């Protein structure tokens, strides 16, 4: 029996997928979580075989959950998303995600992916993989992406500096480099562009 944890902040989608997966003879949904923090806690407690994680959740997104679980439990992670951007796929693979597919796929396909991932295989939706191969690479360094990530909600330069253990002047320099590389005028525009491309 494949033990599965589901995490999705949309209750109707989460409960519908859980109900459909429970109809499968070889799959048991052992937990249903409404956000990323709950998913991490339940995965550490229950150690399911596979965690099916929505990409966009409160607290922690699906990729951040997978990164937290990597090395802590043997669970393998599948990320599902409504917006399968190539940059997000690269982030997911770097976090050790074993499966990646759009939410537009049916429950029967999710079940097939769960079985493959539980058996030690990887599954990347072919359309997403093809897009990732043709998509432009991120021009920003890891540190520049960190700066955008910690400042994505409008944090001040001082707050960002404290979060990253950097001097405020260094943060300002990074922001200036980001704006120049991306050809935008404000940090908010840079964050939006980076999110759209799945870089953060």
Q: Indicate which CATH number applies to the domain containing 173.
A: 1.10.10.10
- Point out which residues pair with 76 in neighbouring strands: 50
One domain for residues 54 and 130: yes
Q: pLDDT tens, position by position, for the chain (200 residues)?
A: 999 999 999 999 999 999 999 999 999 999 999 999 999 999 999 999 999 999 989 889 999 999 999 989 999 999 998 866 667 787 888 899 999 998 888 899 999 999 999 999 999 988 777 766 666 677 888 889 999 999 888 899 999 999 999 999 999 999 999 999 888 999 999 998 888 777 88
One domain for residues 66 and 154: no
One domain for residues 128 and 151: no
One domain for residues 39 and 115: yes
Separation between Cα atoms, residue 22 and residue 114, nearest integer Å: 13
One domain for residues 147 and 124: no
Q: At what angle do helices 11-22 and 107-118 cross, to 10 degrees?
A: 70
Question: Of 85, 110, 134, which residue is a domain's last?
Answer: 134
Split into its structural domains, the chain has a count of: 2
One domain for residues 26 and 103: yes
One domain for residues 107 and 150: no
Q: Which of 145, 154, 135 is nearest to 177 (CA)?
A: 145
One domain for residues 12 and 94: yes
One domain for residues 122 and 34: yes
One domain for residues 112 and 40: yes
Rounded (10°) CA dihedral 130, 142, 79, 56:
-110
pTM exceeding the 0.85 threshold for the entire prediction:
no
Q: Indicate which CATH number applies to the domain containing 76.
A: 3.40.50.2300
Domain that holds residue 36: 2-134
One domain for residues 22 and 106: yes
Sole residue written with tokens 């562009």: 193
One domain for residues 47 and 124: yes
pLDDT per residue over 141-173, tens digit each? 888 999 999 988 889 999 999 999 999 999 999
């Amino acid at each position: 029996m494949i033990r599965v944890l589901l995490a999705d902040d949309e209750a109707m989608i989460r409960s519908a997928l859980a109900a459909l997966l429970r109809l499968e003879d070889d799959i048991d949904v052992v937990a249903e979580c409404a956000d990323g923090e709950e998913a991490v806690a339940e995965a550490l407690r229950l150690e399911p075989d596979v965690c099916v994680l929505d990409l966009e959740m409160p607290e922690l997104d699906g990729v951040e959950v997978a990164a937290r679980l990597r090395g802590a439990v043997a669970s393998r992670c599948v990320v599902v998303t409504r917006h399968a951007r190539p940059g997000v796929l690269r982030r997911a693979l770097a976090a050790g995600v074993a499966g990646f597919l759009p939410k537009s796929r049916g429950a029967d396909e999710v079940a097939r992916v769960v079985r493959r991932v539980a058996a030690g295989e990887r599954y990347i939706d072919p359309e997403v993989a093809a897009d990732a191969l043709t998509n432009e690479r991120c021009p920003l360094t890891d540190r520049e992406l960190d700066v955008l990530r910690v400042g994505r909600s409008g944090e001040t330069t001082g707050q960002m500096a404290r979060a990253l253990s950097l001097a405020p002047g260094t943060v300002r320099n990074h922001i200036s480099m980001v704006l120049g590389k991306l050809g935008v005028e404000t940090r908010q525009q840079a964050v939006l562009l980076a999110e759209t491309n799945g870089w953060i």
